[in-house]
C-alpha cells in the first residue's frame, strides 16, 4: 500500500515536532550556556546563541572542581561496568552450561535481588560500608554494585539462543569449559555486552542517592552531586554557568549511548523476542 505524499509530509512534520519538543529543554540549556548573566536575565528572554561560551564553561569547570568529579564518575562507572559484566558472564555460564547441586536455590537467590534496590537496604548498607572504612573511597562506590541480576539474566538469555551443537562439538574436540567460554561463547556475546555497557555505565554515572551518602569530601564527589553544588555555588542564579556544567556532565553517558546504540537496541530486542 503506497502512502500519499500528503500523509508522508504530515508524518515527517509530526516527527520533527515531537523531536523538537523532546529536545527542547536541552537545546535551551545549550543556548543559555552561551549567554552572559545579563543576557540570561534579560526581559523578554533572549533565545539566540551569544559568545560567552569560554567564560561559562571554564567557570563551571573551576567553581566545583568538575574535572575531578568527571574523573570520579567515569572511573566508578567504568569499573562497575567491567566488574559487573565479568561477574555476570561467569554466573550466566555456570547456570547455562553446568548441572550442580543447589542450582535452583542459587538461581532463586539471584531473582530475589530484584526485590532489593538500594533504598530498601540503605540503612544497613551504609553501616556495612562504614565499618569497612569505605566512606569517601572508590571501593565504597564500586564494590556494592558489582553483582547484577540484570546482567546475569541478559547473558543467560543470550547463551540459551546459542545452538547446543557448538558445545557438543567442542566437547568432542576435548575443549575444556573455560576455553569454550573464551574462544566460542564470548565472541558470540558481543552485542549483549554492548547493551549491558550502555545500561550499566548510564546507571552508575547517573546515580545520586548512594554517592551522596557514601562521600562527603569535595574530592570524592561525583558529577551528579556536582550539579547541585554548582547550583548552590552560583548563588546569583547565573544559569549560563550552571547550564554549561549540566551540558558537560551529560556528554560522557551520551557518547556511550550513541556509540553503542545499535547493540543496545539489539540487546533489548533479544530479550523480548523470547
Partner 1 sequence: MKQAAFTNKYLPYVLLIPTFVILIIFLFYPAFESFRLTFYKVNPYSGAGKFAGLYNLQKIFTNPGYIQSFLISAIFALGVVGVGLTISLLLALLLNQKVKGAQIYRSLLIWPYALSPAIAGALFNFLFNPANGLVGYFTGIRTWMTNGNTALFVVILAATWKNLGYNIVFYLTALRNIPRDSLEAAEIDGAGPVKRFFSITFAFLSPMTFFLLVMNTIYAYFASFGLIDVLTEGGPAESTNILIYQLYRDFFVNSRIGYAAAESLMLFMLVVLLTIVQFKTTEKKVYYQ
Under rule CB under 8 A, which residues in 90-149 are in contact with partner 1?
90-91, 93-100, 103, 106-107, 109-111, 113-128, 143-147, 149
Contact of 214 with 36, CB cutoff 8 Å = no
User: Contact at 8 Å (CB) between 136 and 220?
Assistant: yes
Distance, in Å, from the CA atom of 226 to the CA atom of 60, rounded to the nearest integer, reads: 10
CA distance 10 to 154: 39
In angstroms, rounded to a whole number, what is the distance separating the alpha carbons of residues 40 and 28? Answer: 11
Among 35, 88, 192, 215, binds partner 1 (CB under 8 A): 88
Residue of 60, 64, 167, 244 interacting with partner 1 (CB under 8 A): 167
Smallest distance, partner 1 to C-beta of residue 231, A: 7
Q: Minimum distance from CB of 137 to partner 1 (Å)?
A: 14
Find where cell 571501593 sits. Answer: 139
76 versus 227: smaller Cβ distance to partner 1: 227
Cβ of residue 8: shortest distance to partner 1, in angstroms?
Answer: 7
Residues of span 194-233 touching partner 1 by CB under 8 A: 199-200, 202-203, 205-206, 208-209, 212-213, 224-225, 227-228, 231
**152 near partner 1, rule: CB under 8 A:** yes
Measured at the CA of 210, the angle between CA 208 and CA 216, to 5 degrees, comes to 95
Residues 50-79 that bind partner 1 (CB under 8 A): none
Q: Which long-range contacts (CB under 8 A, 24 or more apart) does 46-50 make?
A: none
Residue selected from 49, 54, 258, 259 as contacting partner 1 according to rule CB under 8 A: 258
Phi, psi of 45 (to 5 degrees): -60, 145
State the nearest-atom distance from the C-beta of 232 to partner 1, in Å. 10
Under 8 Å between Cβ of 244 and 66:
no
CB of 202 to partner 1, least distance (A): 5
Amino acid at each position: 500500500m503506497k502512502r500519499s505524499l500528503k500523509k508522508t509530509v504530515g508524518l515527517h512534520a509530526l516527527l520533527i515536532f515531537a523531536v523538537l519538543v523532546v529536545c527542547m529543554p536541552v537545546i535551551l540549556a545549550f543556548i543559555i550556556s552561551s549567554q552572559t548573566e545579563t543576557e540570561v536575565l534579560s526581559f523578554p528572554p533572549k533565545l539566540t546563541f551569544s559568545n560567552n561560551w569560554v567564560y561559562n564553561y571554564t567557570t563551571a569547570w573551576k567553581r566545583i572542581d568538575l574535572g575531578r568529579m568527571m574523573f570520579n564518575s567515569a572511573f566508578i562507572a567504568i569499573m562497575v561496568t567491567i566488574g559487573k559484566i565479568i561477574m555476570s558472564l561467569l554466573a550466566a555460564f555456570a547456570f547455562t552450561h553446568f548441572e550442580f547441586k543447589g542450582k535452583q536455590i542459587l538461581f532463586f537467590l539471584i531473582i530475589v535481588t530484584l526485590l532489593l534496590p538500594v533504598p530498601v537496604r540503605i540503612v544497613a548498607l551504609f553501616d556495612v560500608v562504614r565499618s569497612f572504612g569505605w566512606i569517601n573511597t572508590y571501593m565504597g562506590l564500586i564494590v556494592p554494585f558489582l553483582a547484577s541480576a540484570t546482567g546475569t539474566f541478559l547473558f543467560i538469555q543470550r547463551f540459551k539462543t546459542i545452538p547446543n551443537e557448538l558445545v557438543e562439538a567442542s566437547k568432542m574436540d576435548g575443549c575444556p569449559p573455560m576455553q569454550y567460554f573464551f574462544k566460542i561463547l564470548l565472541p558470540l556475546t558481543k552485542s549483549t555486552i554492548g547493551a549491558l555497557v550502555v545500561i550499566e555505565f548510564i546507571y552508575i554515572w547517573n546515580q545520586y542517592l548512594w554517592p551522596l551518602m557514601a562521600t562527603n569530601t569535595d574530592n570524592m564527589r561525583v558529577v551528579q552531586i556536582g550539579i547541585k553544588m554548582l547550583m548552590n555555588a552560583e548563588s546569583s542564579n547565573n544559569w549560563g554557568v550552571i547550564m554549561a556544567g549540566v551540558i558537560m556532565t551529560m556528554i560522557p553517558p551520551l557518547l556511550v549511548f550513541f556509540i553503542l546504540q545499535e547493540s543496545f537496541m539489539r540487546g533489548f530486542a533479544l530479550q523480548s523476542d523470547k
